[in-house]
Structure 1
Amino acid sequence: MEGCEMSGFATKAPVIAFLHTSDVHIATFDALCDRLAPDLKLHHEVRADLLQDMTPGGCCAPGFLSGTRAVLTALAEPPTALVLCTCSTLGPLAEAIAEAENLPFLRFDRPMADAAVAQADRIAVMGCLEGAVHATGLLISDAARRAGRQIDLQTCCYPELWDLFCDGALAAYHAAIAEQLAKVAATTDLIVLAQASMAPALMLGTEIPVPVLSSPELGFRA
């Protein structure tokens, strides 16, 4: 096994295990690995069913906690050095479970939240799932509290765009996000993307006059 190809657990080398709720994220993080840490070994676990067991408000279907605990515990088995959750909606509960079980774990959006409050006082959170927007807003508020910063936080949710993602219309999805980014930029000093799936919209060349932070690269660098 070389570079950042998807790995199983047959290798004895340390592995970074990713917990995704969509397989669309695999290529994103493999590309980051190739660019930033080509010798790192990755394992990708895609569990869309975990996200389906959560309501927009963050409530869980019966068995969600035990199921998620089982997934995280299995992922943390040696040779895994760290488990990373790339889903903002799932992140808070996964983090709580990992802390209770003393598992090596990182929410990929936490470094992004810390960077946001260090750079701006007026921050906008954009997302297409209510649960992701809510979770990211709470995370940024917590980061501001820990940093002793006062922030003005606004949230913007576009659930209609999520249908494009679910239908596999990724080009239209990212184009629509880029359009909304340009509008929100007029009302804030910094924008945070609540979902990793939104990050490719930044590559479309749309002029956005304020910084835009997304979790994939910031989380990977952490």
Structure 2
Amino acid sequence: MIAFLHTSKIHINRFEELLKSIDNNIPTKHFVNEEILESAITNGKTDSGAFKKQIDLIKKDNPSLIICTCSTFGEESDKYDNVFRIDRPIVQYIVSKFDRIGLVYAASSTREISTNLLVQTSKQLNKEIEIISCDCSEHWVHFTKGNQSEYEAQIANAIKSIEKQVDVIFLAQASMEGAKNFLHNFTKEVVSSPEYGVKQILRCI
């Protein structure tokens, strides 16, 4: 069984459908903890104790592996065996292929974590990169209020403003994936973590 840890219930169907499209025979279970992300945004740092408590709870179900779909908790995930952060595979792809990376985030707690992963990966690959941040935190309120379409549309508008400065757009949070639908005639590749991440992580089974 694969266990998913989300910080919003909106991700359950997306990741369930994604996994089934890859392998319909793998059982899944989804856990949602919105409070840990809310705390990270409010306090400016992740609560390691609360995250560990959640992981310990999930492990009681004896999953083959745990996939954390929230980028904010990527570094917390790295502390545990068999807990995989959804964004590592796509970041490895991005850094290996592109030089000027547009880092798009809406949850303020994600910026530092995603930046760290990009920098660490570039060092591992001995590759120089430039990170151009696209702060969409003012639009996070749309997500919290359940207005997903407005959230995605506003993120897309922000992305257009950095189109000429970057070689690729990295949507650092899984919740942003739908912004691609609002980027008509966009000239740069736009990547997100869910599909690529799940495919690569499944190779660990």
TM-score (norm 1): 0.84
Provide the C-alpha distance between the structure 2 equivalents of 1:67 and 1:168, rounded to a whole number of angstroms: 25
1:35-114 to structure 2, matched below 5 A, reads 35-55=21-41, 58-60=44-46, 64-96=47-79, 98=80, 103-114=81-92
Could you say if the C-alpha distance between residues 205 and 38 of structure 1 is closer, same or farther in structure 2, counting changes exceeding 3 Å?
farther
* Conserved? CA contact 1:18–1:84, under 8 Å: yes
Once the two structures are TM-superposed, the CA of residue 94 in structure 1 deviates from its matched residue by 3.1
Structure 2 CA distance, aligned partners of 1:205 and 1:154? 18
> d(CA) in 2 for partners of 1:150 and 1:27?
37
Same amino acid, percent of matched pairs: 28
In the TM superposition, what whole-angstrom CA distance separates every residue of 1:75-133 from its partner, at most 9, and x where no partner exists? 1345401111111112212322x1xxxx3111000001101111101111001122212
Among 128, 140, 144, the residue aligned to 1:162: 140
2:114 counterpart of 1:131: no
Note closer, same or farther for the CA distance 1:112–1:57 as it changes in structure 2 (3 Å cut): farther
Q: Which runs of 4+ in 1 moved over 3 A?
A: 55-58
Q: Look up the SS of the partner of 2:162 in the other structure.
A: helix
Q: Secondary structure at 2:45's aligned position in 1?
A: coil
2:3 is the counterpart of 1:17:
yes
- What per-residue deviation string (whole Å, max 9, x for no partner) do you get for residues 59-90 of structure 1? 24xxx323321211221345401111111112
Aligned to 1:215: 193
- State the 1:201 CA deviation: 1.5
Does the 8 Å CA contact 1:127/1:133 hold for their aligned counterparts?
Answer: yes
Provide the C-alpha distance between the structure 2 equivalents of 1:55 and 1:198, rounded to a whole number of angstroms. 17
Q: Deviations over 1:123-181 (max 9, x none)?
A: 11001122212211110111111011111111111111101111111111111122222
Distance 1:66 1:172 in 2: 34
- Give the secondary-structure state (helix, strand or coil) at the position aligned to 2:118: helix
What is aligned with 2:174? 196
Alpha carbons of structure 1 residues 143 and 182: separation in structure 2 relative to 1, 3 Å:
same
Gaps of 5+ in 1: 1-14
RMSD: 1.7
Q: Which amino acid aligns with 1:127?
A: Y
TM-score normalised to structure 2 length: 0.91
Deviation (angstroms), 1:58: 4.5
Counterparts of 2:4 and 2:114, CA distance in 1: 19
State how far apart, in whole Å, the 1-side matches of 2:187 and 2:56 are: 43
Query: Which of 21, 34, 47 is equivalent to 2:20?
Result: 34
**Residues matched between the structures, number:** 200
Q: Give structure 2 stretches of 5+ with no counterpart.
A: 201-205
CA contact (8 A) 1:56 1:130 kept: no
- Is this contact kept in 2: 1:113–1:143, CA < 8 A? yes
